[in-house]
Structures are given as C-alpha cells and as structure tokens.
Structure 1
Amino acid sequence: MEFKGKSLLITGGTGSLGKALTSHILREHSDIRRLIIFSRDEQKQFQMAQEYPVESYPQIRFFIGDVRDKPRLVRAFKGVDYVIHAAAMKHVHLAEYNPEECIKTNIGGAQNVVDACFETNVERVVALSTDKACAPINLYGATKLTSDKLFIAANNIKGDNPIRFSVVRYGNVMGSNGSVIPFFIKRKKAGQDLPITDENMTRFNISLQGGVDMVMHALKHAWGGELFVPKLPSYKILDVAEAIGPDRDKPVVGIRPGEKIHEEMITPSDSFYTYDLGTYFAILPATHKWSLDEFKKTFNAKKVPAGFSYNSGDNDEWETVETLRSLIKEHVDASFAFS
C-alpha cells in the first residue's frame, strides 16, 4: 500500500492505540506526507507534541476537535487520503451513567466521520470496534455495534466513489489506558489488595502492536464492508491478579454495571457470514459490491461452520500466570519486579 505523498488522520489520536499507530507509521512509513492527530484533549496533544517535535517530525500535525462537530471534521479531512477512527467514549460504567454523552460520541460521531469522509473524498477508512459490540449487554457495546453498522453500511451508498470502509474488532489491549493491568500494578506498588470482579471472568488479550498490525492490515487489504476479528488468546482475570500480586489479597467485589463474565467477538448468528483468513476472521457484509468468489480466492478464505462462535471463555488458547508475567514485563512495565 502506498503511503508516500499520502495524508493519514487518526481520530482519538492521543489515545493508547493512536500513539502506537503514530510511532509505527513514522517508523515504517517516514515518507508519508502528513500524519494528523485529531482529538479533543489539548493537554494530551501538548504532551504528545513534546514527544514528536516538528523539527524532527515535519510530517505530523495536531488538530484539536471533537467527532461530534461535523464542520470541524470536514475541515480536518480536507486533503486526507486515509482515516483511522479511534475516538470513542470507552468506559462501560461511565457510559451506563452518562448514556446520552456516549450516544453523541460513539454513534453521532461515527456518522459525522462517515459523512465527512464522503464530503472530502477520503480513499480508505478503518473504524475501531470492541469485543463488547458483539451481543452487547451494555450501552457502550450497543453504541459501538451501531457504529460498526454505520461504517459497514456506508459502502452501500458510495455509488461510484472508490472509498472503502472497514471495521476492526478486538479484545482488551494490554496496558492501554483504563485497562486492568496498570490498575493492578498501581495497587500492588501501593501495597493494596487487588479487587476481583468475578473469579470466573475471562477476556481476550491483544498487545498494542497487535492492534496496530490489525489496523494496518485492514487499511491495506479491505475490499469494503469487512469486520476483521483477530485470533487471540484469552486470560482469566484471577490469573492476571496472581501474575502481578501473588502476595496480595484478592477480594471478590462483584461485577460493575454492564460487565460480562466472558466476551464474545463472533456470535453463532455471525457464522453465516464469517470466513477464516488465517491470522484473522472476517465477518462479511450481507450485501457487497465485489465478487465473493474472487474474495475467497484472493485471501484463501474458508467459511466457518454454521453455528461457530468465538468466546473468551471457550477459547482454545490461554495465557498462563507465567506467560502473563512475561507479557506484562515486555509490553507494560519492563521495570516491574514481581514477587
């Protein structure tokens, strides 16, 4: 895929994945013309600009704005070739207590991004989803499912416009802002206990680099309308706590509003449209403008069995206490000393 002379914009670009994408793109595609970081947090933009001074990184631009503000998006998208939509309100319990705000950002903002892309002739768009959008039981998941549908459906109204919209869905990003691992590490260092919501709780696990690789794969290979799902290991929340603080108490405090015991990324109902691509699964749109036979041939795609599902509690691959410790040292806190 050509990046030389191209412009790429990341909404929510000051978040964990946005920063990882920025590092990857500047390292691997230094011939990019512009890399635009679009977000609403001026303090995070100020801090990120210290990491990427214009003297050393003349390609980078910082653009303050909110995805709720369509005119601002249209202005930011002018001359942009590729968009990665990572902006979202993401905390499950906060969305439960502030539903209107979550809807404005995650649904209204998604539609604004779609509309702005059409108005400015963006070529390719990748939107970030979440495992919580699959069979959602909380508002956050429901808004992200709606967002997924908006981006996928946008391919049906593009006419002769060559733009391609796709979605990537993955599990908890190890060490990202708001995730459980930094929370546990902070409490461990403070000599506090590690509260467990439920001893049976499981989650999918992906590294920041894994998330970056998946976004770049979708940006390069999507034909339009695919929802990509990675093949990931699961972990038990109790094993995470044991890996970080084997000498700490682990009281069970109960699940928070909107939490699941296990996460799904593909439901049995999705199986009728799901194909195995090797590293990833792809849930294909019910209607599309390209040849399914050609798609299967190009990617050696194999249809999954009817009734197939992908659930963190029924996974075939699991992290252990030992592998979690190694991953935490590698991806989260290399200096952390485990007891």
Structure 2
Amino acid sequence: MSVLTGSDILVTGGTGSFGKAFIRYALDNLDPNRVIIFSRDELKQWEVRQLFGDDPRLRWFLGDIRDRDRLHRAMHNVDYVVHAAALKQVDTAEYNPWEFVRTNVIGSQNVIEASIDAGVKKVVALSTDKASSPINLYGATKLTADKLFITGNHYAAAYPTRFSVVRYGNVMGSRGSIIPKFRALHAEGKSLPITDLRCTRFLITLPEAVQFVIDSFEQMQGGELYVPRIPSMKVTDLAQAIAPGAALHDIGLRPGEKLHEEMISPEEGRRALRVGDRYALQPDLATWGYVAPEHGESVVDGFHYRSDNNDEWYSIDQIRKILESDV
C-alpha cells in the first residue's frame, strides 16, 4: 500500500502528458479520496475530463501557479502535491525569458508557500535534465526551482511539509515527442533529421516516470533530489527503431541543446548516493533533521551521470519493443 492510498492529491499542470498518466495510475491503483487537477487551460481540462468519464474522485481547478491565492484555495485539505506545471520550450524561453521566470521560478515559490500554509505532508517537484549545468534560460529557471524546493524544507522546518525533487530527461511518448514526426516522415519516404548523429539520450517511458514519482513519495524525507538509474540510447538507434532502413541527415544542434543528456553534473556528483534504482543528491545544508539513507552507497570520486558515460544501453530491438507497447 502506498502512502498516497486513500489520500487527497493535487497535481499542478495536471493536463499534460505526465499528469494524465499519473491520474490514470492514481485512479486505478491508489483509491484516492480526491485527485485535484490544477491547470490554466479550460480546453485541455475539458479534453482530459472526457478521458476519465467525469470520475467523481476528480476535481478540476482552473488556475495559474503564478496566482498564490488560487493555489491556497485549491490546496485546502490536500495531503500530497505533485508539481508538474512549467513552461518548457527552450527556444520560446530565449524570446520570453521573464514569462518563464514568472512561471518556473515565482510560480514554484508560490507552490512551496501554499503547500506549507495548507499543511500539505509531502511535495514532489518534477525537474529536467536541462537543470544540470544549464546552458539555456529554461534550464536555468528549472535549476532555480530545484533549489527553491530543496530550500523549502528550511522554511517548513517547524511545519509538517517536506519537499523533494525528481529529475529525468526526455520522456518517450510525451507531448512534443519526436516519434510521431519521424513516423510521418518515414511514411512519406523522407530522410529523418537528426540534430547530431553522435547524440545520446536517456530513455524513460511515461509509466516509468509515474512509478518513479510514486516511489519517491515513499522514500523521501525531504531535501533529496532523485535521479533514476535508466539506460541510455543513441538517437540514431531511436530513429532506426522507429523507421528501419530510413535515411538520416545531420542538421546540427539547436541553440541551447546538448550533445549528450546530463542529469548529475560533476559538482553535484559529490553529493550523490546510489540508492537502489536511483541516485539521491543529498542537501548541502539540512536544518530540518535530515539523515542520509543507511542503505545508500557512495559513488566514485569525480562521478557525473551523462547519457554517453552510462553503463546501461538500449539496443535497437529493445527500443522497438518499447515503441510497440504504445507507451
């Protein structure tokens, strides 16, 4: 039985790819009292309501995380919060930096303060690989948000609320995935554009991402930044799994894009422990009584976690089987 079983759960950004997968898992496996979907787009909320047949356990709150008062109202009697709301498009962030700061940074602080005020027990915030050694505005805002959530445990030291962060990379099957584009181009007999033929990425599916978040609620004390230990893949292998025999052409890295995905930088690696299926970055300073997990294993000096130095890799056949499972 999960700590979430029978509870009241709020999901910010709940109409996104992760939110929909999390809602389905919660309804099917957690027997929740309520799942509150907090998002700002009424059309997306209507579309997601159709997916779940107006399940009476679901509550629909229109609101923006920039609006602290609305968050306060939505969090009344909430036990657990999954913070998935964010602006995410890298190129859009470069043209609209202040809007990303308002949502990803100020909005995150609003979630923290509303959670403490409402007496929420635990909050898990979703991060991104782009927050590790950020080279673009989006990554910088998410790194800031990560630090805000870890520091939120200082603010909440005399309160019951605790905060942790999960960080993973691109999710296979999520909105904006390259997979539908590759399939469409292959059907037309066209060459597939690869940003750089040397690119590698971590591979995680939506069900795996949801389970990782669920397990993080179980394990967290507050203050951890969790990173899943998952296989890497070559982007060219992904293309061949989607479109066997297709021609590929190199179009070069886009602004703000990395050749390899990084989830733990060398500097962060000094605080990393290997704990079962994950790495846990320990907080630098913990005034709320944090104790490192007894079963955590130290990593080697100079450790960093990047998709090209991983010790696990997916083959083309393994990627194809994942694609065929319709994740």
| TM category, shorter | over 0.9
Residue equivalent to 2:106: 108
Once the two structures are TM-superposed, the CA of residue 2 in structure 1 deviates from its matched residue by 3.7
CA apart distance, 1:5 = 4.4
3-state SS of 1:19 partner:
helix
> What are the within-5 Å matches in structure 2 for residues 19-98 of structure 1?
19-30=20-31, 32-54=32-54, 57-98=55-96
What secondary structure is seen at the aligned counterpart in 2 of 1:313? coil
SS class of match (2:203): strand
Task: Give me the TM-score of the superposition, normalised by structure 1.
Answer: 0.92
Per the alignment, residue 304 of structure 2 pairs with 309
Unaligned runs of 5+ in 2: none
Q: Which runs of 4+ in 1 moved over 6 A?
A: none
Distance 2:245 2:307 in 1: 27
CA shift for structure 1 position 182: 2.5
Q: Whole-Å Cα distance in 2 between the matches of residues 80 and 189 of structure 1? A: 47
Cα deviation, 1:113-151, whole Å, max 9, x if unaligned, reads 111112211111000001111011111111110000000
Q: Secondary structure at the match of 2:248?
A: coil
Equivalent residue number for residue 15 of structure 2: 14
Corresponding position of 2:152: 154
TM superposition score normalised by structure 2: 0.95
What stretches of structure 1 of length at least 5 have no aligned partner? 333-339
Alpha carbons of 1:116 and 1:320: their partners in 2 closer, same or farther (altered >3 Å)? same
Report the equivalent of 2:175: 177
3-state SS in 2 of match to 1:232: coil
In 1: Cα distance, 2:146 partner to 2:205 partner: 22
1:308–1:70 Cα change, 3 Å: same
CA RMSD, aligned part only? 1.4
- Residue 296 of structure 1: which of 272, 288, 293 is its match? 293
Specify the alignment match of 1:322 in structure 2.
Answer: 317
Q: Share of identical aligned residues, percent? A: 48
**CA–CA distance in 2 between the matches of 1:122 and 1:296?**
23
- Amino acid in the other structure paired with 1:44: K
Which digits, 9 at most, give the CA deviation of each residue in 1:57-107, with x for residues without a partner? 211111111111111111111111110000111121221222122111111
Of 250, 266, 269, 1:268 maps to: 266
The residue identity in structure 2 corresponding to 1:324 is: I
Note if contact 2:68-2:111 (Cα within 8 Å) is conserved in structure 1. yes
CA displacement 1:7-35 (0-9 Å, x = unmatched) = 100001011111111011111112x1110
Contact 2:186–2:246 (CA<8 Å) still a contact in 1? Answer: yes
Matching residue of 1:245: 243
> In the alignment, is the contact (CA less than 8 A) between 1:207 and 1:331 conserved in 2?
no
Moved more, 78-87 or 267-276: 267-276
| C-alpha separation in 1, matches of 2:158 and 2:202 | 38
CA contact 2:3–2:217 (8 Å) conserved in 1: no
Letter of the 1:128 partner, please give it.
L
Residues 170 and 265 of structure 1 are in contact (CA less than 8 Å); yes or no, is this contact kept in structure 2? yes
Residues 251-298 of structure 1 deviation map (CA, whole Å, 9 limit, x = unaligned): 211111100000111122112211110111100101123353xx332x
1:302-325 CA distance string (max 9 Å, x none): 111221111101111111221111
Counterpart Cα distance in 2 of 1:233 and 1:243: 16
Q: How many residues align?
A: 325
Q: Is the 8 A contact 2:222 2:290 kept in 1?
A: no
Aligned to 1:337: none
In structure 2, what is the Cα distance between the partners aligned to 1:139 and 1:173?
20
Q: Give me the whole-angstrom Cα distance separating, in 2, the residues matched to 1:230 and 1:325.
A: 21
Kindly indicate whether the alpha-carbon contact (under 8 Å) linking 1:152 and 1:225 is maintained by their aligned counterparts in 2: yes
